[in-house]
Amino acid sequence: MDKKIPIVHPLIDEYMLALLPKRDGILREMESYARRKKFPIIGPLAGRVLAQLAMIQKPKRIVELGSGFGYSAYWLAKATPSTTKIFCSDGDENNYQKASAYFKRAGMSRRIKYFVGDALDFIDQFEDDSLEFILNDIDKEDYPAILAKAVRKLKKGGLLVTDNVLWSGRVLHRHPAERSSQAIKVFNRVLFTSKSFFSTILPVRDGIAVCVKR
């Protein structure tokens, strides 16, 4: 197992969390469900980063790869007008069921479509050079493959936002043993060497890569 280290000092994390205004009832319920089930959601600090990027970008469509039970999509939906359509995807039918129930309660069902299946296939349905905002949070082993597809689908100026790019510090290993760590290291290297992107990594929670397509 590759060794982990904290990305953000736990006291700084605690401080930043304490600054956040109280989330609405559905978000708090989702957070407590994730805690109970040990389901890896992006959490409120990264949720606000997504929301802020969506507020700035004002996309007409958002494509989410790895939607889980809808927590990150909920943040994106709250940050954008009802004319913004959100296309979720996840390989697990149970996540779809759970997400649909939350979206229905929040009155978001009409603007959110949820595809059950492999995100690597799902993204193919979109035209090249057409997307303004992609959130990537699928299995880490698939990051290099999804990057190759995402870069084609984004329009110039479009954003690819990716969670977990610091992978609990496992990216520090020179020769990581785990495939997930290896894949994230490849992904990050491409982000910063590709002429197609202007990239930064925000060390929020587990590391968020923000890439603008050039």
Ligand X SMILES: C[S@@+](CC[C@H](N)C(=O)[O-])C[C@H]1O[C@@H](n2cnc3c(N)ncnc32)[C@H](O)[C@@H]1O
> Residues 142, 162, 206, 208: which binds ligand X (CB under 6 A)?
142
> Residues 137, 153, 181, 209: which binds ligand X (CB under 6 A)?
137
Told to check if 95 binds ligand X by CB under 6 A, we report yes
Structure tokens at 132: 């303004």
Spatial CA neighbour of 135 closest among 37, 26, 210:
210
Between 132 and 142, name the residue whose CB sits nearer to ligand X: 142
Told to check if 207 binds ligand X by CB under 6 A, we report no
Helices 71-79 & 93-105 angle (0-180, nearest 10): 30
In what order do the strands lie in the sheet containing 208-213? 112-116, 85-90, 61-65, 131-136, 154-163, 208-213, 197-202
SS3 of 23, please?
A: coil
Told to check if 86 binds ligand X by CB under 6 A, we report no
SS3 of 178, please?
A: coil
Could you give the string, one character per residue 15-54, with x where binding to ligand X holds by CB under 6 A and - elsewhere?
-------------------------xxx------------
Size of the site for ligand X (CB under 6 A): 20
Told to check if 118 binds ligand X by CB under 6 A, we report yes
Residues making contact with ligand X (CB under 6 A): 40-42, 66-68, 71-72, 89-92, 95, 118-120, 137-139, 142
